[in-house]
Amino acid sequence: MKIEVQIKAKVYDFERTKKKISEIAEFIDEQNKVDYYFSRDSKLDRKELRLRKKGNEKIVTFKMPFFEEGIEKSKEYKFNIDNASDFINLLENLGINVIAMKHKKSLFYKYKDITIQLVSIPELGYFIEIEKKCNKEEEDKAEKEILELSEKLGIHSEQIEKKTYLELLIEKNLNKMEV
């Protein structure tokens, strides 16, 4: 099983960051995605069950992320489905409901064997994701390469986000409800 090693950082100047990435990495693709996050209850335990709609593709991902000094590492299980409505109905009948939704527009770049995404999420703002998939024994090397690349792109440690998007969405929605 591959492990995903990544950092996610807040971006304050989208155009400047895009220019820096374009100077060192190859543009690959632009994608729009809608993610639905599910849970049996409102208790958040960092495990994520997600349905992603990307074009005609529907991908279910169960992700178990953990953080070490701002670096997110995840074990993931993924599979495609044909019918999103039936999948959502199945989960709801099992007592598992949608707890958050996210719209994500990503610009994908490739730097050596590292993927860079410049991300716009209307609900949360702009982010950069720098990620590498590797085997367990390559984790330390991947982490080092990602941190070196983030430094090259001018990402400062205080920009690195230590929460998942789901945690940020729930936190934002809770703050909205308190107002």
Which pLDDT band holds residue 49 (cuts at 50, 70, 90)? Answer: very high
Q: Would you place residue 146 in the very low, low, confident or very high pLDDT band (cuts 50, 70, 90)? A: very high
Give the per-residue pLDDT at 43: 59
Strand (E) or helix (H) holding 31: strand 26-39
Q: What is the pLDDT of residue 176?
A: 54
Handedness of CA 44, 1, 29, 24 (dihedral sign): positive
- Give the residue with greater pLDDT, 23 vs 71: 23
The pTM assigned to this predicted structure is 0.86
- Side-chain-side CA neighbours of 172 within 13 Å: the count stands at 16
Return the bridge partners of 79, or none.
Answer: 60
Q: Residue 134: is its pLDDT beyond 50?
A: yes
When pLDDT is cut at 50, 70 and 90, the band that residue 142 belongs to is very high
Output the CA–CA distances (angstroms, integers) from residue 149 to 110, 128, 144, 155, in the order listed: 12, 12, 9, 9
The number of distinct structural domains making up the chain is 1
Task: Share the mean pLDDT of the chain.
Answer: 90
- Which residue has 């490739």 as its token pair? 110
CA–CA distance, 161 with 164 (Å, rounded to integer): 8
Range of the domain at 142: 3-178
Q: What is the CATH number of the domain that holds 130?
A: 2.40.320.10
Q: What is the pLDDT of residue 177?
A: 44
Average pLDDT in the 119-126 region?
Answer: 96
- 1 has pLDDT over 80: no
Q: What is the pLDDT of residues 154-178, one digit of tens each?
A: 998 889 998 889 889 988 876 554 4
| Cα distances (Å, whole numbers) of residue 36 to 23, 92, 101, 172 | 34, 13, 5, 16
